[in-house]
Structure 1
Amino acid sequence: MKVFSVGEMLIDFLPGSEAGTYVRKAGGAPANAAIALARQGCDTSFCGMLGNDDFGRFLLETLRENNVTPVVRLTDEAVTTMAFVTLDEQGDRSFTFARKPGADMLLTREQVQCDAFEQAQLIHAGSCSLSKGSARDATVYALSQGHADGKLISFDVNYRNVMWDNDEQVAARAVREILPFVDFLKISEEEAGMLGGEAQIPSVMEQYEISVVVETLGAQGVRCYWNGRQLELSGLQAACVDATGAGDAFWGAFLAALSRAEVTATAQLTETLLWEALRAGNIAGWLCVQKKGAIESLPTRAQVEHYLHQMYP
């Protein structure tokens, strides 16, 4: 299965080994998910805009080094966002964002209309892209057109407070606009309020014909809603979806498991397959948090499978 991820790519600055030092890495949920999918062996492309500066070139090289096909154009206009990340002892994160004056993702639907998009069977995006000026139209187009073309659609609801300046009504409207196109939705326990709360998830799924909703529960694990049922998986010995990048590691491994099973329509989903995907994602997130979200900690397929056989014999 070929995957096309569309959205934002930014610079994360993680705490270094000495006080006051930082390690830079690629950030942004759509880009991180693309890298996670590629490290799981999926044929993955990423579509976005990058600044024509040291940071933008570093991000472009990061994609290539991790076997992601970039559908990227460098621009002299201000687009690069920087995020300074603080992690506590449990791996929970907080952000301080810095954006260049007038920063915009500058993504257009014309850029999305490319061979990689046409060839992909799965389209992935994240809600941050719905709050970024010109990218909103391009993201909605990618999801709606992909849905119309019979592609599977994956969406990650993330960064509600940061991306919409704590305006939950605006955030919820933006997310609900694209729900009719979505097959696989990832959402955190905290952000379930954007759908009206956890109790409303089944009715939202029925209303918008969403096949799978995976709710991440921090150290407690994950809860999967599917076919009128709930599948719950306890977390491993870390807050595996809370450290930066770990949620994307989880989702990358989850989608990769569906990809390897050659799922091309949601009617092919089975409980056995969903359990396999949840377990792979759980281990991927746990592996990622061990290194506090460093880009090289997004695990490979071999690393995940090594622990799968140990923890789920």
Structure 2
Amino acid sequence: MPRIDNPVIGFLEDDARRLHYPHDDALVVSLQIGDYNMHRVLVDNGNSAGILYYPTFQQMRIDRERLTPTNAPFMGFRRTKVFPLGAITLSMKAGDYPQQITKEVTFLVVDCSFAYNAILRRPTLNSWKAVTSTYHLMIKFSTKYGVGELRGNQIAARKCYIAMLEMENQQQKMCIEKQRALAESVEELEEVRLDDTRHERTTKIGTLASWPVRQMLTTFLRDNQDVFAWSHEDMPRIDPSVMVHKLNVSPSFPPIRQKKQVFAQERDKAISKEVRKLLEAGFIREVYYPDWLANVVMVKKANGNWQMCIDCTDLNKACPKDSYLLPRIDTLVDSTARH
């Protein structure tokens, strides 16, 4: 085939075809590393060390004795020092024949959980003489026979993003639980009534403050009790001219109608009660075009009452950029403190 010296690398609007816009997705590609086709490889221009995660290293069935010891730590994504198990040099192939490039790449093997299998960094891209475009989700590089291309996988990028959020959420939960175990109450709390005509409207204040200060605080809370939400009716809707929330649903996902579930009598009564409250407050309304349905999920709280939630599994798949950190969205108002 004819060789092309110094090909010009550029990006056209046609290179952005088949992408869902607007997007801020990461550049996630698939490469041949060693003898394996490896997916979920993150391209990161910001750092200098290529990363191969240990679970991926194990699946490649590479003998650990091939690792070269290294003592140089690097800064991880969570701003903590990470010490690699070692370094290994592997052959990596990118692009389609004949616009293809093969290079030897050195990876640091890291023993930690991550959504990606590997990370490509600046030295590798420089050795390719590669140009990246996060808008087009594409890498272009010079070869002997023209410009080679490597397209990013937008669906894989969004799945990795959701997986990263779930990992961070789990770590945050563990941290919160640990702090709760170590935390101790520094003072006793006193319950004060804010409305003498409505006994359920109460709150708690600390008892370490002097009596005049507590009296002033109680008076202040009573004068401003309109900022508390005691029921659904106390939370009027926000004018759409101020703020509107819309779901960024991917057009590649068709509407999903879940099969109707049958609940036990106790749960069915709790559902009817909560739905009635939401209807009276104007939070929900009945619709007659149910193309997308999701069953409610009933969760029993510590006080024995039922809490009605929504299963957002299908919604999370269709809205990867609007993903929720929890598997269910709480649709109720439990207490003033929470809202």
TM-score normalised by length of structure 2: 0.22
User: Which structure ranks higher in relative contact order (CA pairs < 8 Å, sequence separation ≥ 6)?
Assistant: 1
**Greater helix share, structure number:** 1
Using the size of structure 1 for normalisation, the TM-score is 0.23
